[in-house]
Amino acid sequence: MRLLTPHHEAVEARARFAGENVEIIEAPVDDIWMRDIAPTFAMRNKEVVAIDWNFNGWGSTRERPARPGDQLAKLAEEIFGVPRFSVPFVADGGALITDGRGTLITSRSCVLNPNRNPICATQNELEREFATLGFTRVIWLEGDPQEPITSGHVDGYVLFKEPGSVLAEVFDDKQIEAPIWRSADIETLERVQDAAGRMLAVERIRAPRKRYWRFQNEMFAPCYLNAYLANGVVITGRFGDVERDEEAKVAFANAFCGRDVFMLKIDHISAGGGGVHCLTQPMPTSAGGSK
């Protein structure tokens, strides 16, 4: 595992993780959300490359203006030692999920937001750009335009189990009125085909109930599917709703057979609007593994 660390904290980080399988990489980081701030890594002709989505700080809103550390992707060759490939539009890593076989799921609320791409940018234009990266099928969800900061990242409620099959997080809680957009997005997933021409199989996972949430602020994002699939393990959050936590753990164990499932208490991370997936960015190796 690689841990990006600002220069002034590198000595402390090396001492903290001495003897563990953690490589400290000095980098000008000033936030924790590596899924967006760092580049997305991919394979091109057996070579690892870094895709620079031109991340602009989630649209540089009043709540969270853009920062210098948002541009880590520009330093991909210096920090990660791999070539950088820049796209001609703006996107957030958390707004894009893929099956690795040509299917991409994203949201209009984020990628088509004028604070990412000009109002004149069209869905068809962006699909043509995605096609240059190998995405032959783009599935557009509506997303949540009211979501603070991210404008509706799909990685908060959709996760590929494997090509042709996804998990989708739903609200089943008397204390929460399920937003119309969430129901509509899941219905969209249930009636679309992937890049291979298959109808997507959708398994619904129930979100933790509000009465168990530790925090009630607007940013709090208690979601199971914002999870990280590491080598041999699945890492996600638990939120004190014993019944729903266990349901999610069983669903992950069944969906990703052979991987151990670790559920961590991440309330303070979720209070910032994200989860485990938001904190991480996998980097493949030429041998097919990841770092």
Given the residues 120, 223, 257, 278, the one annotated as active site: 278
Decide if 244 contacts 268 (C-beta within 8 A).
no
Tell me how far CA of residue 275 lies from CA of 69, 204, 224, 239, in angstroms: 20, 19, 8, 11
Tell me how far CA of residue 61 lies from CA of 106, 113, 145, 149, in angstroms: 20, 12, 13, 7
φ, ψ for residue 270, nearest 5 deg = -65, -30
Amino acid symbol at 89: F
Decide if 89 contacts 133 (C-beta within 8 A).
no
φ, ψ for residue 209, nearest 5 deg = -80, 150
The Cα–Cα gap between 273 and 218 comes to: 9
**Residue count (the chain):** 291
278 as an active site residue: the answer is yes
Residues forming the active site: 278
